[in-house]
A and B are shown apart, each in its own frame.
Chain A
């Protein structure tokens, strides 16, 4: 695998479910990011991790919980989501925060 990978690519979950999104980067980068991409809206930065330490939490509801166990892996734990949380969730990485970011293909999340 090369670049940034995300699993699953598609996820349908009920409002009471708990699920996790996984991101893995194979680029040797030190910073990782979660974004939310909704139709007709700019990408919204959710979380930033630099050297496994969270450096940005962009007023994201607590039903989204990130985890960065090492510099190559990033998770987004989801629980009791709302239908308006349905979107494409993108993971990205960069050499360091501030440098150009490389994006994964995203997870298309549908909350029913």
Chain B
């Protein structure tokens, strides 16, 4: 069955540290890829997306992600985190999108940034 795996359940960083959150998916066909963020007490928001083209995509708030097709990965990065980045981050993969699509989420990574 198709699945999305996020390697880290909880990451704790100090401000200005670099961030990389791993995401791997299991599906051999064409996919659309997303990262969503859920700040405390707020709803899920789209951080960035990849449909096609340049595998390095930039999102809001200085985040970026790189799609590596051979590794079935879509890791999220930020060179210098801020306290306000404390949130839960979800990787999601849309499989079979040209047949209607089904968004599969990873289990989420909780990021805590210490001031």
A residues contacting B by CB (< 8 A) are: 4, 33, 40-43, 45, 48, 50, 55-56, 90, 92, 97-106
Q: What are the nearest 8 A-B pairs in CB distance?
A: A98-B97, A98-B101, A103-B44, A43-B105, A97-B101, A105-B43, A42-B107, A42-B105
12 A-B contacts (beta carbon < 8 Å): A45-B103, A48-B100, A55-B100, A90-B44, A92-B44, A97-B97, A97-B101, A98-B32, A103-B43, A103-B45, A104-B43, A105-B42
Q: Chain B 86-103 against A: per-residue CB contact (8 Å), 1 yes, 0 no?
A: 000010001001101111
A56 touching B102 in the complex, CB below 8 Å, given contacts A43-B90, A100-B49, A104-B43: yes
Judge whether B16 is part of the interface by a CB distance below 8 angstroms: no
B4 at the interface (CB under 8 A from A): yes
A42 CA to B6 CA, complexed, in Å? 10
Tally chain B residues at the interface, Cβ within 8 Å. Answer: 23
Chain B residues, Cβ within 8 Å of A105:
42-43
Q: Which residue of B lies closest to A44 (CB)?
A: B105
Q: Does B74 contact A (CB under 8 A)?
A: no
Partner of B34, one of A56, A97, A100, A104: A100
B residues near A104, Cβ cutoff 8 Å: 43
Query: Within 8 Å of chain A (Cβ to Cβ): is B22?
Result: no
B:72-115 near A, CB below 8 Å: 90, 94, 97-98, 100-108
B108→A98 contact, CB < 8 A: no
**B100-A97 in contact (CB<8A):** yes
Chain B residues closer than 8 Å to A98, beta-carbon distance: 32, 94, 97-98, 100-101
| Cα–Cα distance between A82 and B113 once the two chains are bound (Å) | 37
Task: Select which of A41, A55, A56 is within 8 A of B107 by beta carbon.
Answer: A41
